[in-house]
Amino acid sequence: MFKFTRSRFLRQFVIGLVCVFMVAACGPSAEEAPEATEGGTSEAAATTLTVATEPAFPPFEAQAEGGGYEGFDIDLMNAIGEAAGFTVEFQALPFDGIIPALQAGTVDAAISAMTITAERAQTVDFSRPYFKAGLAIAVPEANTDVTSLEDLAGKRIAVQIGTTGAGQAAEIEGATVSTFDSAPLALQELANGNADAVINDAPVTLYAIQTGNIGGVKVVGELVTEEFYGIALPKDSPNLETINSGLATILEDGTYEEIYQKWFGEAPPELPEEAPLE
Ligand code: GLN
């Protein structure tokens, strides 16, 4: 047992220590407050970026067995972070929630096979293009009368909500368009015979067919669009330059090609420095 005087001394000592800690903890943290909000509002580029993705779009992003995410975009974003000196924390969001999240500043960036479009570029900033893709029409294997978008007039079309494919479908005369939260769900609707066609990113539809995830379905004709994917950021984000320079580094040092080979089994096509926008 401590004597009274000693425990009183100890108590005062502890109180004193607590005060010192409080001053030390409170003083600077007030100044650091702007930096602590990682919503893209800080002026300096952050060292951990929260990056949104909709992980039901293989081979670009998918839930990995045993947790976490995998795919071309996931490898690419991590490689960009490594090259540019930041770590990536992925956050799963519905595709149509990604741009609102960027605008609200609740995430720092998004990589989600997102096509660079003039309309989206009004509300978010895009990195330089990192992938060349395009939309393809998928129909039942036995179908022979659909070869172009025009042939879809009056048909039942399944699409993923908020996508460029959904945008194309909306312009087709007399079509009945049903929207789904993810591309696999739209493709399933087609496989089930409840839709006549799906308009979706070609690499994703082809991957679903090749991996056997979707049966009795084929891709018709030529690609109906040419699109380029970009990493999206809030307008005027301080991280845009960092991400672009990381991307430039891995395009140059062979890392990009390695990742492309891993997921697509072929050499990547040439990429423009800027996406052509209508
Ligand atoms: N590339 C398409 C778009 O940007 C689809 C993206 C996606 O579903 N992840 O609209």
Residue 13, C-beta contacts closer than 8 angstroms, at least 6 positions apart: none
Residue in 51, 69, 124, 160 to alter for ligand 1 test, most ligand atoms within 8 A of Cβ: 160
163 C-alpha to ligand 1 centroid (Å): 5
Residue in 114, 123, 181, 199 to alter for ligand 1 test, most ligand atoms within 8 A of Cβ: 114
* Residue labelled with tokens 């990604």: 98
Classify residue 208 as left (phi > 0), alpha (psi -120 to 50) or beta. Answer: alpha
Asked if residues 200 and 182 have their Cβ atoms less than 8 Å apart, the reply is: no
Q: Is 178 helix (H, G, I), strand (E, B) or coil?
A: strand
* Protein residue whose Cα sits closest to atom 10 of ligand 1: 163
Q: Is 130 helix (H, G, I), strand (E, B) or coil?
A: coil
Query: Same CATH fold, 135-225 and 47-132+228-264?
Result: yes
Residue in 95, 112, 131 to alter for ligand 1 test, most ligand atoms within 8 A of Cβ: 95
192 C-alpha to ligand 1 centroid (Å): 23
* Protein residue whose Cα sits closest to atom 5 of ligand 1: 163
- For the packed helices 255-264 and 72-84, what is the interaxial angle rounded to 10 degrees? 170
* Atom number in ligand 1 closest to CA 120: 4
DSSP string of 28-63, one letter each residue = HHHHHHHHH-TTTTSSSPPSEEEEEE-SEETTTEEE
Asked if residues 260 and 72 have their Cβ atoms less than 8 Å apart, the reply is: yes
pTM: 0.84
Tell which CATH classification among 3.40.50.150, 3.40.30.10, 3.40.190.10, 3.40.630.30 matches the domain 135-225.
Answer: 3.40.190.10
174 C-alpha to ligand 1 centroid (Å): 24
| pLDDT for 39 | 43
Tell which CATH classification among 3.90.180.10, 3.40.190.10, 3.30.910.20, 3.40.50.920 matches the domain 47-132+228-264.
Answer: 3.40.190.10
**Beta bridge mates, 218:** 139
| pLDDT for 46 | 57
54 C-alpha to ligand 1 centroid (Å): 9
Q: 80: which 2 tokens? A: 């960009």
Instruction: Work out the number of other CB atoms within 10 angstroms of the CB of residue 249.
Output: 16
Domain ranges of the chain: 47-132+228-264, 135-225
197 C-alpha to ligand 1 centroid (Å): 17
* Atom number in ligand 1 closest to CA 54: 9
**Beta bridge mates, 61:** 57
List the 69-70 sheet strands across, edge first: 56-57, 61-63, 69-70
Residue 2, C-beta contacts closer than 8 angstroms, at least 6 positions apart: 10
Residue 97, C-beta contacts closer than 8 angstroms, at least 6 positions apart: none
Q: Is 230 helix (H, G, I), strand (E, B) or coil?
A: coil
Q: 246: which 2 tokens? A: 């990381």
1 C-alpha to ligand 1 centroid (Å): 70
Classify residue 193 as left (phi > 0), alpha (psi -120 to 50) or beta. Answer: left
| pLDDT for 271 | 96
Residue 262, C-beta contacts closer than 8 angstroms, at least 6 positions apart: 72, 75
Per-residue pLDDT of the chain (278 residues; tens, 9 = 90+): 344 444 444 444 444 434 344 434 443 333 333 444 444 444 455 599 999 999 999 999 999 999 999 999 999 999 999 999 999 999 999 999 999 999 999 999 999 999 999 999 999 999 999 999 999 999 999 999 999 999 999 999 999 999 999 999 999 999 999 999 999 999 999 999 999 999 999 999 999 999 999 999 999 978 999 999 999 999 999 999 999 999 999 999 999 999 999 999 999 999 999 998 86
Q: Any residues with Cβ below 6 Å from ligand 1, and which?
A: 54, 57, 95, 112-115, 160, 163-164, 183, 201
Over the stretch 163-206, which tens digit does the pLDDT of each residue have? 999 999 999 999 999 999 999 999 999 999 999 999 999 999 99
| pLDDT for 277 | 83
